[in-house]
Amino acid sequence: MVRVQEFTLILLTLSVCHGRQNNFIDEEFEPVVQDSKYGSLWPLPQKVFISPVSLKLSVPSFKITDAKDSSAGPGCSLLHSAYRRYYEYMFGGAKKLKFNKSSRTDPSGLMELQVWITSPDSECDGYPSVTSDESYELTVDQPYAVLKAPKVWGALHGLETFSQLVYEDEYGAKSINTTTISDFPRFAHRGVLLDSARHFLPIKVILANLETMAMNKFNVFHWHIVDDQSFPYLSRTFPQLSQQGAYHPYTHVYTPADVKMVIEFARLRGIRVIPEFDTPGHTQSWGKGQADLLTPCYSGSQLSGSFGPVNPILNTTYDFMNQFFKEISTVFPDSYIHLGGDEVDFTCWKSNPDIQKFMDQQGFGKDYSKLESFYIQRLLDIVTTTKKGYTVWQEVFDNDVKLKPDTIIHVWKGNQEQYQNEMANITSAGYQTLLSSPWYLNRISYGQDWPGIYKADPQDFKGTEEQKKLVIGGEACLWGEYVDATNLTPRLWPRASAVAERLWSAKDVTDINDAFNRLSAHRCRMVKRGIPAEPLFSSYCPNEYKGI
């Protein structure tokens, strides 16, 4: 029987007091606590066989090394930093790691993990993309284990999986069972959205969550970096935006060096960084540093002193957007930018006589969604010139904006029936789509809400197989109205882990009880690695969180 790594669960009671509920709570689920035949693997690989044969790992002699025929040699810093990272996770001391052939070996146990990148171009110096090959194969047997992957991105996932297979036996010895795994993600886009505008998130918090994302095989950090409340992005072209729009112009901004650090930290873990600069709504902080960008609101025939969405009738608006997104396209290397486009309040536009006149000239009548579409269309044309693709919230599609064929539509609104209808409509129109509606993790309740999160499937809607193929994944979203550095990580993890398995594992991986046992063990592993992931239910971890 395979041991559950670093996890012992004592079930204290099966009665749960229910507080305020949300749509995700699963009142029927009562866990049956037992070891999973898959140990503590999370997310569950596509194909996995774990035998009862146990091998010892000799810590002083064990090493992770490049296979002889690997296309990524000693010069691949991405892999070698990962070797050190995972050695420390498994054995608690990167200083012990040796890469040379002269290391002392222990013939009675597993001596090394050989990493073999099979494609001529390992992509070691590149950036992950939506088309990256993340597959890998892992074989654990004597005298060594072999991790084969076409690209470095799959190797990173394989290293995480290997580390999850290591456990301590009853005598405290590091052990691993002979194992065969063939693995790849079900969806290409597996994201986490963090909001750094409602509350500023220190860089160390962002980096810690990128690290945790890698432990869960997420591959997209959707950085909702600015919003109405603050503009912490320090622009080289328009420094006054953060100077006037951030909570504090020096302590609560992301400098170019900060952004570069986040992007590289993410790259080394196979994670894309997609920034979101949401317009024309959600832009109050933009207007503090950029004159005439926002629409002046009127009260009757007089200016009210307040401002609404971006002013869509001025040429200066588009001159600004052109310069701004040219900068963004050079700062963020990913091929996609998220342009928002959601929740535009038309009240201010309706009050402004210049806007009303423009509406008449354009023949828009009183339909202000046409004015929104006019703005969005011009913005999309601007971003297209930067050679970037774009993702937009579903309202842009709903308002019939003309979109490029490769536009990604991000679904976030409605209950299950509503978002399933939206997914069907978007894919029937031939567009790729992402799902977030059931995965707004800022919504909390008392009890176990993760089963509802776990059961939501992006392809669960009425449509053809061709439509289903247009669903490229989804994102767990943690909006920041009530979240900052003090509570972000425990609120996000391990609830986001439920989303991670849904987006990675096979469609038929739906056993809630097996998931509970593996996720409980995985949560304890994250705690051991220094991540304050909250508990699923009454239990304990051998290595409790020590705090800061």
Q: Is the pLDDT of residue 283 over 80?
A: yes
- Overall average pLDDT of the 274-298 stretch: 97
pLDDT tens per residue across span 420-446? 999 999 999 999 999 999 999 999 988
The pLDDT value recorded for residue 32 is 79
Is-catalytic flag, 343? yes
Q: Taking the mean position of all CA atoms in its chain, how far away is CA 452?
A: 19
The pLDDT value recorded for residue 18 is 26
The pLDDT value recorded for residue 464 is 97
CA dist 233 and 224 (Å) reads 10
Q: Is the pLDDT of residue 101 over 80?
A: no
Q: Is the pLDDT of residue 6 over 60?
A: no
- Overall average pLDDT of the 305-315 stretch: 97
pLDDT tens per residue across span 343-372? 999 999 999 999 999 999 999 999 999 999
Check residue 489 and give left, alpha or beta (phi > 0: left; psi -120 to 50: alpha): alpha
CA dist 503 and 500 (Å) reads 5
Closest CA to 91 of 168, 2, 143, 159: 168
Q: Residue 64 class from Cβ within 10 Å (0-12 exposed, 13-18 middle, 19+ buried)?
A: buried
pLDDT tens per residue across span 250-271? 999 999 999 999 999 999 999 9
The pLDDT value recorded for residue 107 is 56
Q: Is the pLDDT of residue 5 over 50?
A: no
CA dist 496 and 501 (Å) reads 9
Please enumerate in sequence order all residues whose Cβ is within 8 A of that of 93, keeping only pairs 6 or more positions apart, or say none: 87
Closest CA to 35 of 7, 11, 13, 54: 7
Kindly give the pairing relationship between strand 220-224 and strand 189-195.
Answer: parallel
The pLDDT value recorded for residue 104 is 46
pLDDT tens per residue across span 493-541? 999 999 999 999 999 999 999 999 999 999 999 999 999 999 998 888 9
Predicted confidence band at 110 (pLDDT cuts at 50, 70, 90)?
Answer: confident
Whole-structure pTM value: 0.92
The pLDDT value recorded for residue 542 is 84
Residue written as token pair 């320090």: 234
The pLDDT value recorded for residue 11 is 32
Predicted confidence band at 93 (pLDDT cuts at 50, 70, 90)?
Answer: low
360: tokens are 């008449």
Stretch (H or E) spanning 527: helix 512-528
- Overall average pLDDT of the 117-143 stretch: 96
CA dist 190 and 98 (Å) reads 33
The pLDDT value recorded for residue 402 is 84
The pLDDT value recorded for residue 108 is 59
- Overall average pLDDT of the 53-75 stretch: 90
Mean pLDDT score of the chain: 91
- Which is catalytic among the residues 134, 137, 160, 343? 343
- Overall average pLDDT of the 389-403 stretch: 93
The pLDDT value recorded for residue 140 is 96
Strand partners, 220: 191, 272
pLDDT tens per residue across span 272-281? 999 999 999 9
The pLDDT value recorded for residue 109 is 78
Q: Is the pLDDT of residue 29 over 80?
A: no
